[in-house]
C-alpha cells in the first residue's frame, strides 16, 4: 500500500508525453521543487496563447521537452522560434531538453534548471 501512495503522489495529469513525465520526475528526484505542468502564458489582451510544458511560474523559469518533431518538421521548428521569442519577451527563461539529453545528460539538465532558478532569485542554484 505504501508503494501505491508513493506512486500516486508522483502522478501529474499535465504531462503530454512519457518523456515529459520522465523529465518532471528527474527534477523532483534531484531535489528541485515540483514543477507546475502546462503553464498558460497570456498575450497582452489576457488571452492564453502559449503553454510551457513545465516550470516555475513564480520565477518565470520554464522547462520544455523537445521531441523529434521539433527538429525534423520545418513548421514546428519555425513555430518554436516564434514561441521562444514570445516567451522571452514575457520574461521567461526556458530550459530546453532533447531526447538525447534526457537519456544521457541527466545531471546536466538538473544543473541547467538549478542555474536558471538561481538566476531568477531562487535558492536552488
Between CA 60 and CA 95 the distance in angstroms is 11
Reported CATH class of domain 2-119: alpha beta
- The pLDDT of residue 125 is 52
Q: What is the mean pLDDT of residues 86-107?
A: 97
- Domain map of the chain by residue range? 2-119
Looking at residue 38, the DSSP 8-state letter turns out to be E
Buried b (16+ CB within 10 A) or exposed e, 92-124: bbbbbbbeebbeeebeebbebbbebbeebebeb
- Per mean pLDDT, which range of 21-25, 90-94, 121-125 is the poorest? 121-125
- Whether 14 shows a pLDDT value over 70: the answer reads no
- Whether 3 shows a pLDDT value over 50: the answer reads no
- The pLDDT of residue 70 is 58
Pick the residue with more confidence: 9 or 79? 79
Q: Are 55 and 62 in contact (CB under 8 A)?
A: yes
Amino acid at each position: 500500500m505504501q508503494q501505491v501512495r508513493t506512486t500516486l503522489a508522483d502522478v501529474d495529469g499535465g504531462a503530454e508525453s512519457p518523456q515529459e513525465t520522465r523529465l518532471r520526475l528527474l527534477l523532483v528526484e534531484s531535489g528541485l521543487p515540483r514543477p507546475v505542468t502546462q503553464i498558460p502564458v497570456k498575450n497582452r489582451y489576457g488571452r492564453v496563447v502559449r503553454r510551457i510544458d513545465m516550470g516555475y511560474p513564480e520565477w518565470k523559469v520554464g522547462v520544455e521537452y523537445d521531441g523529434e518533431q521539433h527538429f525534423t518538421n520545418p513548421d514546428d521548428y519555425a513555430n518554436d522560434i516564434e514561441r521562444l521569442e514570445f516567451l522571452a519577451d514575457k520574461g521567461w527563461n526556458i530550459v530546453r531538453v532533447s531526447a538525447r539529453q534526457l537519456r544521457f545528460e541527466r545531471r546536466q539538465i538538473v544543473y541547467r534548471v538549478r542555474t536558471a532558478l538561481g538566476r531568477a532569485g531562487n535558492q536552488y542554484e
